[in-house]
Chains A and B, each alone.
Chain A
Amino acid sequence: MIFITAVCVMITVGVIAVVGYFFFKYQRRSPSEIGGSFHGGALLEATWIIVPTILAMAMFGWGAVVYVDFRHTPSDTLDISVIGKQWMWKIQQPNGIREINELHVPAGRNVKLVLASEDVIHDFFVPAFRTKMDVVPGHYNTMWFRPTKPGRYHFFCSQYCGTNHAVMGGWVTVMEPSDYAAWLASASGEASPVSTGERLFSEKACITCHVPDGSGHAPSLNGMYGRQVLLADGSRVTADDSYIRESILQPNAKIVAGYQALMPTYQGQLTEDEILALTTYIKSLQTQPVPPKGSGVAPATGNK
């Protein structure tokens, strides 16, 4: 930021100074006067092509480093789900506490937001954290940050989303970890998303095929989250939130190797909350051991 600003201010001031100086120095002195002769030259042209190119590449490189870090979520995050809809934010803590237009997070911990939209594109923007991410219907986007200083910070919707776009905002409350723990304990939560997801998993009959020991028509989901899954076409995919979501809504998009395309779509039958709860439940199975047979998880020795 400082580098770019400094370079840009220098260029602006430099060009304006040079132009201003020429204007002053070379004012027309008689109505019929012609200017002197100056054609520039290859060296001059080369200089003002090469120098800006180098400066631009430096800016690019620095911005790229920051961006790669922004897009690479660390593994030890506190995961909070955020659902945008016209024109409010529904937020759910890992233990099931729901908030509307309020987000409580502990200081000093990496926080990951899993973003989903029920209607149009929104954008979760926290100016004080210098970060934002679009909330796109039909996709999961994630963003992460590490709050450092307790306090209350504005968040906004920054992707225009219709009539009340401007009031679709709220506050992030960053708390000391002990205060956050106390807040979690004191607030009366509903069922945690994991238990909601577990309930849905049997209610929606997922469990009839996705049998945990791998003996069903569909692969066991134990230990799958975060690992590589081998697909029927020989390719591999990392089992992340987006993959699970896609598999629920468009089951035939990616078929696990060794299985038939039997699963019906759940498009339109689950709300975003329910999809998130199911995803969270499947995520919680991560700690279960992978069954030796009947799992989609690729062998650990496979190429990455």
Chain B
Amino acid sequence: MPREHYLNATYGIRSWLLTTDHKRIALLYLASVTFFFFVGGIFAAMIRIHLLTPNGLLVSPETYNKLFTMHGVAMIFFFLIPSIPAVIGNFLIPIMIGAKDLAFPKINLLSWYIYLAGGCFVLYSFSTGGLDTGWTFYTPLSSVYSNSAVTPAVIGIFINGFSSILTGLNFIVTIHTMRAPGMTWFRLPLFVWAHYAVSLVMILGTPVIAITLLLAGLERVFHLGFFNPALGGDPILFQHLFWFYSHPAVYIMILPAMGVISEIIPTFARKEIVGYGFIAGSSIAIAVIGFLVWAHHMFVTGESTYAALAFSFLSYLVAVPSAVKVFNWSATLYKGSISFDTPMLYALGFIGLFLIGGLTGLFLACLGLDIHIHDTYFVVAHFHYIMVGGAVMGYLGALHFWWPKITGRLYPEFLARIAALVLFIGFNLTFFPQFILGYLGMPRRYHNYPPEFQVLNVMSTAGASILAVGYLLPMVYLVWSMRYGKVAGPNPWPATGLEWTTDSPPLTENFRVTPEVTWEPYDFRNRPELGLQVGASLAPAHGDD
């Protein structure tokens, strides 16, 4: 271990709570998003136990409705959206581009406090009456009819939005202005490109959800008629505004994970990535087209046929850049030198689950088919494949990949591989049956269900218990490794990014001297300092290009 690094530079609680070091702030976020992940996870576990029997096993209908609502709110707004950007992105983006910190270190700390303040309001709502509107807050249910603590929850999410906006702003300015000499735009790691795209969505989309929920809150408290038809409002208007953010929010969750996968695959295949420009460009394309597909959540609200046709068409278009990424990742493996280290297992799991999640999106984008499967368990399965199979697998892959950089120590590799496998099996067993349930017609958000759906529900709950083990294992061994893990050294895998040229854990200033980038991204061949050699049997006969 290096003698001095960001973790031991200063001591005491104040040195953490008042830090402006992006790495320490990342760890503050790590602790808080992990807390919300377990809050949301406990709700999920109760949902699955309740659904073991057709009449419900555990809780009353009111409580069940609160469980799935609070599960969604905690997971989406307080875990998934901040997870990769605010934890991994915060830690890595300055180091990856050779900077000392983000452009606005104090604003970065402020974002975390805003996040905490929003979180407190939401926890207050959860503990004083709970929330039963669904995470979608559809009006007039949320703004008029619900008897739960809607107002503090809405305020909490409103506040939390500013945390996202400030983080996005910080990333964009940092990426534009603080790149080290030689770090041109097309030498940026694809992880940084993905975060650039995500930051655009955060800045442009978040204000819309904030104002929309504020309007719903005003209607609830002061009876101003925005969405309630009895007051002259339009409930469909809420859905348009809500999804204008909340569909792009799906890309806030998945794009950073795609960035992670684009780092892991070339590292563990030990070769340059195929189609760098296409992967970077597809991130931007997804961010832009992603803003134009929102009303595909509303095909059966009675929206005009022409609108439905346009939104279905655009939804199919946004699928293409995602497909391009998957094909490029797969092609990168061709002629690689592939190892099965834990991060690679997560990347492989991501590709499989994201494929299923993405392709079932094509079913939902299909107008004729969506009439049947809309608002059924098919949708639930689809977005869990994207958000858990995609975003959470990406997040765990990222934690395992950069854990040695963050803590300076390695986790027990064998246990980590077992955990990745357990997660993959548990996940599929939990959510694949839900596709079938949805196709058979089981609507979502049901606290009880006709008996013919029981077998598939029991399978899903069984899978969830395996999944829970898969989540607890990394918790245990990652914490254990912080003290007892083997010392990692600066570049254990080895990988080509700038972050691997500095100490693990890095200094507070990240680098002793400002680095100068002289190599292309993911290039293993012209980096003798990595200590690798071209495999004799794989070397092209005509020499190196």
Using CB atoms and an 8 Å cutoff, list the residues of chain A in contact with chain B: 1, 4-5, 8, 11-12, 15-16, 18-19, 22-23, 26-30, 32-40, 44-45, 48-49, 52-53, 56-57, 59-60, 62-68, 70-71, 86, 119-121, 123, 125, 127-128, 130-134, 136-139, 141, 154, 156-167, 250, 267-268
Contact = CB atoms under 8 A, between A and B. Distances in A.
B328 to A, nearest CB: 7
A80 to B, nearest CB: 17
Contacts of B62: 163
A131 B545 CA distance: 58
A4 B447 contact: no
Nearest to B138: A121
A40 B331 contact: yes
Interface stretch (B79-87, B316-324, B421-429, B511-519): B316-324
Contact of B308 (A67, A128, A139, A164): A67
B448 to A, nearest CB: 5
Interface of B: 61-62, 65, 132, 134, 136, 138, 140-141, 144-146, 229-230, 232, 234-236, 269-272, 274-275, 278, 299-302, 305, 308-309, 312-313, 316-317, 319-320, 323-324, 326-328, 330-340, 348, 351-352, 355-356, 359-360, 362-363, 365-372, 374-376, 440-441, 443-450, 524-525, 531-535, 537-540, 544-545
Contacts of A267: 230
A159 B313 CA distance: 24
Given A38-B271, A65-B368, A138 B355 contact: no
B444 A160 contact: yes
Given A60-B316, A158-B375, A158-B376, A67 B367 contact: yes
A157 B449 CA distance: 12
Nearest to B533: A32
B331 A33 contact: no
A134 B320 contact: no
A35 B272 CA distance: 8
Contacts of B375: 123, 125, 132, 158-160
Contacts of A35: 269-271, 335-338, 524, 535, 538
A36 B441 contact: no
19 contacts: A4-B369, A22-B333, A34-B533, A36-B271, A36-B335, A37-B335, A49-B324, A60-B365, A66-B369, A120-B145, A121-B141, A127-B441, A132-B375, A137-B230, A154-B450, A159-B375, A160-B136, A160-B141, A162-B146
A139 B146 CA distance: 21
Nearest to A126: B441
Contacts of A127: 372, 376, 440-441
Max chain A Cβ within 10 angstroms of own Cβ: one of B145, B230, B323: B323
Max chain A Cβ within 10 angstroms of own Cβ: one of B134, B333, B348, B545: B333
Nearest to A125: B443
Given A48-B327, A125-B441, A158-B375, A37 B540 contact: yes
B372 A164 contact: no
Contacts of B317: 53, 56
A161 B139 CA distance: 10
Contacts of B300: 123, 132-134
B445 A40 contact: no
Contacts of B278: 45
Max chain B Cβ within 10 angstroms of own Cβ: one of A1, A18, A35, A137: A35
B362 A166 contact: no
B338 A22 contact: yes
Contacts of B65: 160, 162-163, 165
B338 A138 contact: no
Contact of A66 (B274, B367, B537, B539): B367
Q: Which 3 A-B pairs have the closest CB atoms?
A: A127-B441, A66-B368, A138-B229
A164 B313 CA distance: 36
Contacts of A159: 138, 375
B372 A130 contact: yes
Given A33-B270, A162-B146, A163-B62, 4 more contacts: A23-B333, A34-B337, A138-B234, A159-B375
B161 to A, nearest CB: 23
B524 A38 contact: no
Contact of B275 (A40, A64, A160): A40
A1 B367 CA distance: 11
Contacts of B372: 127, 130-132
B142 to A, nearest CB: 9
A166 B449 contact: yes
A121 to B, nearest CB: 6
Contacts of B271: 34-38
Contacts of A59: 316, 362, 365-366
A134 B445 contact: no
Contacts of A34: 270-271, 337, 524-525, 532-535, 538
A162 B148 CA distance: 11
Contacts of A137: 140, 229-230, 235
